[in-house]
Structure 1
Amino acid sequence: MKSNTIILVVDDEEQNFDVIEILLFKEGYTLHFAQNCDIALDFIEKNKVDAVLLDVMMPEVNGIEVCRRIRANRQLGYIPIVMVTALNTKEDLAQCLEAGADDFISKPVSGVELRARVNSMLRIKHQYDALQNSLQLREDMGNMIFHDFSNHLVSILLGCEILRFGKNESRKEKHLQLMENSAKQLQLLTDSLLIMAKLESDKMVIEPEEVILGEIIESVLEDFNFLAESRKIQIINDVAPLTKKVYIDKQVIRRVLDNLVSNAIKFSPANSLVKLCVEYPENIQARIKVIDQGKGVSDNLKQRIFDKFEIGQVVKGISQTGLGLAFCKLAINAHQGQIFIQDNQPQGTIFTIEL
Structure 2
Amino acid sequence: MMAQRSKIAIVDDERSMRVQLESLLAGNEYELALFESGMALLAKLSELDPDLIILDLMMPEIDGFEVCRQVKAQPQFQHIPIILVTVLDASKALVEGLEAGADDFIQKPVSRLELRARVRSMLRIKKQYDELEAMLKMREELSNMIVHDMSSSIVSVQLNATLMQEKQVDEEQKERIDSILMAADRLDEFVNDMLMLAKMEQSKLRIHPTMTHIQQLILDAEKHFKIIAQSRGIELKLELPKMQLKMELDANLFRRVLANLLSNALQYSPEGTTVTVKLEILPPDQKGHHLRLQVIDEGPGIPEAYRKRIFEKFEVVELKKKGVAQIGLGLTFCKLAVDAHCGKIYVAPNRPNGSMFIVEI
Task: Kindly provide the amino acid, as one letter, of the partner of residue 351 in structure 1.
Answer: F
The corresponding residue for 1:91 is: none
Please tell me whether residue 235 in structure 1 is matched to residue 236 in structure 2: yes
Q: 289, 292, 295: which one pairs with 2:294?
A: 289
SS in 1 for 2:275: strand
Counterpart Cα distance in 1 of 2:321 and 2:144: 14
The verdict on how the C-alpha distance between 1:116 and 1:340 changes in structure 2, with shifts beyond 3 A counting, is farther
The offset of 1:293, in angstroms, is: 2.7
The corresponding residue for 1:313 is: 320
SS in 1 for 2:276: strand
Q: Contact 2:161 / 2:181 at 8 angstroms: preserved in 1?
A: no
The offset of 1:192, in angstroms, is: 3.7
Please tell me whether residue 278 in structure 1 is matched to residue 279 in structure 2: yes
Q: Contact 2:241 / 2:280 at 8 angstroms: preserved in 1?
A: yes
Q: Normalising by structure 2, report the TM-score.
A: 0.53
Q: Contact 1:159 / 1:175 at 8 angstroms: preserved in 2?
A: no
Q: 325, 330, 336: which one pairs with 2:342?
A: 336
Counterpart Cα distance in 2 of 1:198 and 1:144: 13
1:1-355 to 2 correspondences below 5 Å = 117-118=120-121, 120-122=123-125, 124-125=127-128, 128-129=131-132, 132=135, 154=157, 157=160, 160-161=163-164, 164=167, 167-168=169-170, 170-175=171-176, 177-178=178-179, 180-182=181-183, 184-185=185-186, 188-189=189-190, 191-193=192-194, 195-241=196-242, 243-282=244-283, 283=286, 284-298=289-303, 299-300=305-306, 302-303=308-309, 305-307=311-313, 310=316, 312-313=319-320, 322-355=328-361
Q: Contact 1:215 / 1:242 at 8 angstroms: preserved in 2?
A: no
| Identical amino acids, percent of aligned pairs | 24
The runs of 5 or more residues in structure 2 that have no matched partner are: 1-110
The verdict on how the C-alpha distance between 1:232 and 1:121 changes in structure 2, with shifts beyond 3 A counting, is farther
Q: Contact 2:307 / 2:347 at 8 angstroms: preserved in 1?
A: no
The verdict on how the C-alpha distance between 1:216 and 1:145 changes in structure 2, with shifts beyond 3 A counting, is same
The verdict on how the C-alpha distance between 1:339 and 1:319 changes in structure 2, with shifts beyond 3 A counting, is closer
Q: Contact 1:332 / 1:339 at 8 angstroms: preserved in 2?
A: yes
Q: Contact 1:177 / 1:226 at 8 angstroms: preserved in 2?
A: no
Pairwise CA RMSD: 4.1
SS in 2 for 1:313: helix
Q: Contact 1:212 / 1:243 at 8 angstroms: preserved in 2?
A: yes
Would you say how many aligned residue pairs link Structure 1 and Structure 2? 244
The verdict on how the C-alpha distance between 1:233 and 1:141 changes in structure 2, with shifts beyond 3 A counting, is farther
SS in 1 for 2:320: coil
The offset of 1:263, in angstroms, is: 1.4
Counterpart Cα distance in 2 of 1:142 and 1:273: 39
SS in 2 for 1:251: helix
| Deviation string, structure 1 residues 151-186 (Cα, Å, up to 9, x no partner) | 78547645645764x642x23543454455356436
Counterpart Cα distance in 2 of 1:314 and 1:160: 40
Counterpart Cα distance in 2 of 1:214 and 1:325: 22
Task: Kindly provide the amino acid, as one letter, of the partner of residue 219 in structure 1.
Answer: D
Counterpart Cα distance in 2 of 1:240 and 1:201: 37
Query: 148-157 vs 341-350, which deviates more?
Result: 148-157
| Deviation string, structure 1 residues 39-79 (Cα, Å, up to 9, x no partner) | xxxxxxxxxxxxxxxxxxxxxxxxxxxxxxxxxxxxxxxxx
Counterpart Cα distance in 1 of 2:311 and 2:351: 19
